[in-house]
């Protein structure tokens, strides 16, 4: 029985994590859209703390959001029906069909959530089929499809491929080395009925002269009897990171002459790192990642990003000495921006009456914790998670309209106000800014995606430039989603240039 209504799905499997499945899925979505097809991205189960909120308040992984933008359709949480959000210590939050349903230990995950996870995936597929009956599913796999110790409980690779009778592409990352062993080993571990699903191979992240791999391509095809669709080169570091490790370890862009240096704390439980991509794309801004315990130096601003475990990250900052370094930086008139959990850390008090974020050791000391004491706010963690898109008016640094989303547990309130405190938004619950000395500001906001807004980002950057006695940059009212369109076009163009399109069309369309 056919389990989908539209054209035969295409699934992108990888020989390993980090092989480039996410971006190739986006590339195929954009390529098909440009050729008159209706592509719908899908990933049954994703593990990521880089989340996004759809128009109905549903939570989903950012990678499927980017793929939906490539397909030029609205992202909806049905495209990622199971989201696992690691919290550290082998514990994860589980999100099904956009809603948080519980927390579990890794050792208990399959026992507690395997059946309900598959149910969420099949429900998501049915709803997508109903919404887009003519759409072709472009499905991203997870990790490797042949983890033999986990295959019997695989939710999102071969089980899904067989369920949908998908035509599969196997992607191997040549940058890691051992590409021939990756491919042959993966194919050898597939059962005959699974191997039949693999219709093509893509070699990804090749550096240098592509013609040097011609003999390798020929060997792979002769050995596997599966066509190599193309060899994708190592692309410039312009594309969104597939996970937080990619973001902080990717090759550094040459920004030695950047006007501004912005330090970013690399929190142990870093989340929503896509908030920082708009700054990374600014030619006159250099991002410097700072691990707990490292010197902060003298950046022009310091960002404390979102955290999946705010209290635990705050404790790490204290024990590593970084909390004191942050206060020293602030005392010298530095500018700090905290986003979501980062803003909560900037406050005076964080209270966890239900012990939602506290571990056993922390509970012994009570439910109240001292923050960095840089913003006069108190945060109380609540059971209910707030998740919704927002369109609000910013009133600091100047009046402008902004878009973003909230995704947090916890409510923050101002403990005292004075003439140095500004609400960043007309909705005062979304964030505050405190004048710090003669030129700096201590600011915090719950609004993820605030830096996507070109006008607000320019105003904030120009505040930093003014502090450094630099001329303001040209006013930029172009939001980052326009930059993403350029990125997507480059990605799609690369797919069209380096993949044998005739072969691809014959095998998959």
Q: Which residues are catalytic?
A: 340, 448
82 three-class SS: strand
Query: Hunting for tokens 């539209």 — which residue is that?
Result: 6
Burial of 72 (0-12, 13-18, 19+ CB in 10 A): middle
Q: 499 and 232 in contact (C-beta within 8 Å)?
A: yes
Sorted by sequence, the CB contacts under 8 Å of residue 397 that are 6+ apart come out as 433, 456, 459, 460, 462, 463
| DSSP secondary structure code for residue 192 in this structure | H
Contacts 24+ apart (CB under 8 A), 96-99: 96/120, 97/58, 97/123, 97/124, 98/54, 98/56, 98/57, 98/58, 98/59, 98/60, 99/58, 99/59
CA nearest to 85, candidates 36, 122, 50: 50
495 three-class SS: helix
Q: 292 and 317 in contact (C-beta within 8 Å)?
A: yes
Burial of 399 (0-12, 13-18, 19+ CB in 10 A): exposed
Q: Structure tokens of 495? A: 């797919």
For CA atoms 60, 66, 67, 73, the dihedral sign is positive
Q: Structure tokens of 33? A: 């859209």
What is the rounded CA–CA span in Å between residue 27 and residue 42?
A: 14
What phi, psi does 125 have (nearest 5°)? -65, -45
What phi, psi does 53 have (nearest 5°)? -120, 130
Sorted by sequence, the CB contacts under 8 Å of residue 137 that are 6+ apart come out as 4, 6, 9, 10, 40, 41, 42, 125, 128, 164, 166
443 three-class SS: strand
Query: Hunting for tokens 């003439």 — which residue is that?
Result: 419
């Amino acid at each position: 029985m056919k389990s989908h209504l539209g054209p035969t799905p295409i699934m992108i499997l990888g020989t390993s994590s980090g092989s480039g499945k996410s971006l190739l899925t986006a590339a195929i979505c954009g390529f098909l859209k440009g050729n008159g097809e209706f592509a719908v991205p899908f990933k049954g189960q994703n593990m990521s703390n880089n989340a996004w909120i759809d128009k109905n308040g549903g939570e989903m992984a950012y990678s499927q959001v980017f793929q939906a933008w490539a397909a030029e359709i609205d992202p909806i949480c049905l495209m990622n029906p199971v989201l696992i959000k690691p919290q550290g210590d082998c514990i994860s939050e589980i999100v099904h069909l956009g809603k948080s349903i519980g927390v579990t230990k890794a050792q208990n995950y399959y026992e507690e959530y395997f059946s309900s996870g598959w149910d969420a995936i099949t429900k998501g597929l049915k709803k997508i089929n109903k919404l887009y009956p003519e759409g072709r599913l472009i499905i991203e796999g997870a990790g490797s499809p042949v983890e033999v110790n986990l295959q019997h409980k695989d939710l999102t690779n071969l089980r899904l491929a067989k369920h949908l009778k998908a035509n599969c592409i196997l992607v191997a990352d040549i940058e890691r080395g051992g590409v021939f062993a990756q491919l042959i080993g993966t194919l050898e571990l597939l059962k005959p009925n699974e191997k039949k699903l693999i219709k093509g191979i893509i070699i990804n992240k090749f550096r240098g002269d592509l013609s040097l791999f011609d003999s390798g391509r020929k060997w792979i095809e002769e050995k596997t009897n599966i066509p190599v669709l193309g060899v994708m080169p190592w692309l410039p570091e312009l594309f969104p990171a597939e996970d937080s490790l990619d973001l902080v370890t990717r090759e550094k862009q040459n920004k030695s002459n950047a006007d501004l240096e912005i330090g970013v704390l690399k929190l142990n439980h870093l989340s929503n790192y896509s908030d920082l991509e708009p700054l990374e794309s600014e030619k006159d801004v250099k991002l410097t990642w700072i691990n707990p315990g490292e010197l902060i130096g003298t950046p022009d601003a310091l960002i404390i990003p979102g955290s999946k475990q705010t209290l635990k990250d705050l404790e790490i900052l204290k024990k590593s000495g970084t909390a004191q370094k942050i206060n020293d930086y602030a005392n010298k008139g530095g500018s700090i921006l905290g986003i979501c959990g980062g803003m909560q850390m900037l406050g005076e008090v964080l209270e966890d009456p239900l012990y939602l974020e506290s571990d056993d050791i922390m509970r012994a000391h009570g439910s109240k914790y001292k923050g960095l004491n840089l913003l006069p706010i108190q945060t109380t963690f609540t059971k209910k998670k707030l998740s919704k898109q927002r369109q609000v008016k910013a009133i600091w640094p100047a009046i402008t309209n902004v878009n973003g989303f909230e995704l947090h547990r916890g409510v923050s309130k101002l403990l005292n106000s004075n003439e140095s405190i500004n609400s960043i938004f007309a909705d005062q619950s979304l964030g505050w800014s405190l004048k710090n000395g003669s030129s700096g500001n201590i600011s915090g906001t719950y609004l993820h995606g605030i830096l996507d807004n070109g006008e607000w980002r320019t105003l904030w950057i120009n505040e930093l430039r003014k502090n450094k006695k630099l001329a303001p940059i040209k006013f930029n009212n172009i939001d980052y989603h326009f930059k993403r369109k350029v990125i997507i076009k480059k990605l799609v163009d690369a797919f069209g240039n380096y993949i044998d399109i005739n072969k691809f069309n014959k095998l998959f369309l």
